[in-house]
Amino acid sequence: MRIGQSIDIHQLVEGRPLILGGVHIPYEKGLKGHSDADVLLHAIIEAIIGAMGEGDIGKHFPDTDPQYKGISSMILLEKTYEMMVNHHYKIGNVDAIIMTEQPKMAPHITAMRENIAQTLHTDVNNINIKATRGEKMGFVGRGEGIVSQAVVLLENA
């Protein structure tokens, strides 16, 4: 059994789609990044990589590599799942949080959980996602960016 944790932060900008947990969320801004900038999946991916003792997301999916330009983070999660299986692990559980002032996450959390569970070949009850606001404080509260944190428990397969 191994535990990994991670945090990811991306800036909100005009002209980009907002994608979290593989779900396109209608909003006037999206997240800036080399890939689709899915901050939730990036935190989960890096927590899995960390639990395996394999470094960080940048080691495996560098933002300097053109093959990852604009890539769906769901594909990166699939590749991370394959790495996890090759290391003889399976998901015990994932607990993640999204910190954003807007938009509201509640209507989208079920779809996020289902996407992640399907990609990680685990029961949806093993995936928990919460959301909180910045209460008008800091860059999250001012609507400048979104933060996500994740903790992952891996079990021997």
Q: From the annotation, which residues make up the binding site?
A: 8-10, 34-35, 42, 56-58, 61-65, 139, 142
Peptide bond between residue 62 and the one before it cis (omega within 30 degrees of 0): no
Residues annotated within a binding site for a divalent metal cation? 8, 10, 42
Neighbouring residues of 63: CB distance < 8 A, sequence distance ≥ 6: 33, 34, 35
Torsion angle defined by CA atoms of residues 100, 103, 108 and 112, in that order, rounded to the nearest 10 degrees: -40
Dihedral class, residue 105 (left if φ above 0, else alpha if ψ from -120 to 50, else beta): alpha
Place of tokens 């209507």: 107
d(CA 53, CA 88) in angstroms, rounded, equals 13
Beta bridge partners of residue 129, listed in sequence order? 96
